[in-house]
Amino acid sequence: MLLAAATPAYAAEELVVDLSRSVVEITAGFVGSELLLFGATDGEGDLVVIVRGPLRDEIVRRKERVAGIWVNRDELLFTGVPAFYAVASNRPMEEFLPEAVAAKNWIGLENLLLLPHWKQPYAENYDSFRAALIRNKQRQGLYSRQPGNVTFLSSRLFRTQIRFPSTVSVGEYGIDVYLVRDGKIVTVDTTLLNVRKVGFEAGVFDFAHRHSLAYGVLAILIAAMAGWLASVMFRKS
């Protein structure tokens, strides 16, 4: 009777999504992490999975060689930049998602909304700064595109692995799963994920943010003590 009562509610769902765990814990030996996203669709369709990290400001600087020395010249400050951005799909998106629909919903690295800070006007070479920002993030493993990474286990069940590098930022992440049919987005399911420090690292992180002055003084004292001990050891040797 319970199964019969639950079946109509489940059938009404176009898309059901869940995670193997809702928290990624960063410890002393953290070298990255993977988690499983899985779910079911009500009928056929294609899937796009987008993982967005916490937003922050990012500065992109252009280096030029002056008198044989590389120096920073022009720079552009972007605001509201996702610290992490990953796109996965069951097949290349250009095969099932029209470009206009992807652009309207900001799906894909090429459609990611990256705007300069409101105090800065658009630079003439904005496109090159934007491309450099994405290129740097990709080099760090923080931005990725993985066509074919979403696997259908049957006509309805699917799964995909989400990989986080060791440099992932703490904070709240949003995972959007889009169900696409006939070139249109049928529905979107949003799931939240939390990345946080635990153990000794969490204590240090919390202390540094709550008592920044004391943390800075303590860091200087520790560095000075380490330098003094090193000089004593080398002097004896």
Tokens representing 24 are 């990624």
pLDDT in tens, 66-81: 777 777 778 889 999 9
**pLDDT below 70 — which residues of the chain?**
1-12, 119-123, 199-215, 217-218, 236-237
- The 3-state DSSP class for residue 83 equals coil
Residue 40 carries which side chain, given as an amino acid letter? Answer: A
**Cα dist. 58→120, 132, 140, 229 in Å?**
13, 11, 14, 38
Token pair for 113: 């909304």
Contact at 8 Å (CB) between 101 and 62? no
Tokens of 90: 């069951």
What are the residue ranges of helices labelled H in 58-199?
99-104, 126-139
Count of CB atoms situated within 10 Å of the CB of 38: 15
Q: 27: helix, coil or strand? A: coil
The CA distance from 174 to 54, in Å, is: 8
CA distance 98 to 48: 13
Domain at 11-196: CATH architecture: Sandwich (2.60)
The CA distance from 155 to 157, in Å, is 6
Smallest CA-to-CA distance from 13 within 37, 47, 40 is with 40
Per-residue model confidence (pLDDT) at position 52: 95
User: Which 3 state secondary structure label does DSSP give 101?
Assistant: helix
pTM of the full structure: 0.76
What does the domain layout of the chain look like in residue ranges?
A: 11-196, 199-237
pLDDT at 29: 81
Residue-level pLDDT at 226? 76
Q: At what angle do helices 212-236 and 200-210 cross, to 10 degrees?
A: 120
Cβ neighbors of 120 (< 8 A, separation 6 or more) are 76, 77
pLDDT tens digits, residue range 176-220?
999 999 999 999 999 999 998 875 554 555 545 565 666 576 677
- Indicate the helix (H) or strand (E) that contains 57: strand 55-66
- Residue pair 29/57 in contact (Cβ under 8 Å)? The answer is no
